[in-house]
Structure 1
Amino acid sequence: MEYIFTLKYQLAEQDCDQDALVERLGAAGCDDGLVGVGQPGRLALEFSREADSAEEAVRTALADVKHAVPSATLIEASPDLVGLTDVADFVGVSRQAMRKLMLAHRATFPLPVHDGSASIWHLAEVLDWLKAYRNYQIDPGLLEVARMALEVNIAKEAIRHPVSSQGRRDLLTA
């Protein structure tokens, strides 16, 4: 199956030569990734990777990038953090329809990761909700890659901000 996802990285100063970077990525197996280096010091790769599972696709892509650019630091795997407009685009409805759905089902709709003038959700949680509670037909590949992106981002943050499991529980139950 083909999985489409994006990996975004912070680059070290020595890795900012775009032509050399593209060459190294291609040689390391990232020839199925569209390379974006629009923002200085950043790298985005939109992969369209054939694999038996989203986990295999994302894990091999992460390993390929690490092999090509060992000093690169992962910023985000996507699709994961999304607004209602993004969710609406993924499921083929209008933003207004998605907003109405969210407002009408506040008690069961997934909680946002950030709530404000622009709220953000984990795509996998919203897709799971749409599938379970509203019987939406969700592309299984999209759902699988969204779950994997969420897992990668959580693991990345756990490494970035290590706190004992007990410490995390105590914070949330205080």
Structure 2
Amino acid sequence: MDYAFTLKYQLAAEDCDHEQLVERLAEAGCDDATIGVGQPGRIALAFTRDSADAWSAIFSALQNVKQAIPSARLVEAAPDFVGLTDAAEVAGMTRQNMRKLMLAHATEFPAPVHEGNPSVWHLSDILAWLNARGGYRIEADLLDIAKTAKQVNLAKEAREIEPEVTHELEALVA
């Protein structure tokens, strides 16, 4: 099955020759990605990878990029972080309809990762909630890739937390 996802990286100063990066990525197995180098010091790879499952697709892409650019630092795996407009578009509805659902089911609707202007959610949380409600056509492969991207992003963030803080917080956030 084909899985579509994007990996965004921060580059080290020595990895700024874009032509060389594209060649190294292709040699490492990233020939199924469209590579974006528009922002200085960053690179984004939009993959469409054939794999048995979402985890294998993203994991193999992460390995390929690490092989090609060992100093690259993962910024984000997508699709994951979304506003209501993006979530509505992915779910095939209007932003207004998504907002009505959020307001009408305030205690059940997934909590945002960031509450503000704009608020941000994990796409997989919203898709899983819609899927559980029934009546919405949520593609299983989209839900799988969104769940996997969320797990990659959470693992990346958890890696950056101090061990003592992690231990102290476990009891408070459970």
Distance 1:163 1:136, change over 3 A: farther
Matches of residues 68-83 of structure 1 in structure 2 within 5 Å?
A: 68-83=68-83
Name the SS for the 1:15 alignment partner: coil
CA distance in 2, matches of 1:80, 1:162: 24
Instruction: Find the counterpart in structure 2 of residue 162 from structure 1.
Output: 162
Instruction: Verify: 1:20 aligned to 2:46, yes or no.
Output: no
* Counterpart for residue 105 of structure 1: 105
Correspondences of 1:33-112 after superposition (within 5 Å)? 33-112=33-112
- Residue 148 of structure 2 is aligned to residue 151 of structure 1: no
Aligned Cα root-mean-square deviation (Å): 1.2
TM-score by length of 1: 0.96
Is residue 173 of structure 2 the alignment partner of residue 172 of structure 1? yes
1:162 Cα deviation (Å)? 3.4
- What CA distance in whole angstroms lies between the structure 1 residues aligned with 2:33 and 2:84? 27
Aligned residue for 1:29, secondary structure, equals coil
Shift of 1:67: 0.1
Deviation (angstroms), 1:134: 4.1
Alignment correspondent of 1:139: 139
String of CA shifts for 1:81-132, please: whole Å, max 9, x gaps: 0001111110111111111111111010000001112010000111000000
TM-score by length of 2: 0.96
Gaps of 5+ in 1: none
Count of aligned pairs: 173
**In structure 1, the residue corresponding to 2:163 is in which secondary structure?**
coil
User: Which range moved further: 160-169 or 21-30?
Assistant: 160-169
Aligned to 2:116: 116
Q: Which amino acid counterpart does residue 33 of structure 1 have in structure 2?
A: A
1:70, distance to aligned residue in structure 2 (A): 0.2
User: 2: distance between equivalents of 1:100 and 1:29?
Assistant: 44
Report the secondary structure of 2:31's partner residue.
Answer: coil
- % identical equivalent positions: 54
Q: 2:127 aligns to what?
A: 127
Task: Give the partner amino acid of 1:127.
Answer: L
Letter of the structure 2 residue corresponding to residue 35 of structure 1: I
Paired residue type of 1:108:
E
**What amino acid is aligned across from residue 42 of structure 1 in structure 2?**
R
Cα deviation for residue 171 of structure 1 reads 3.9
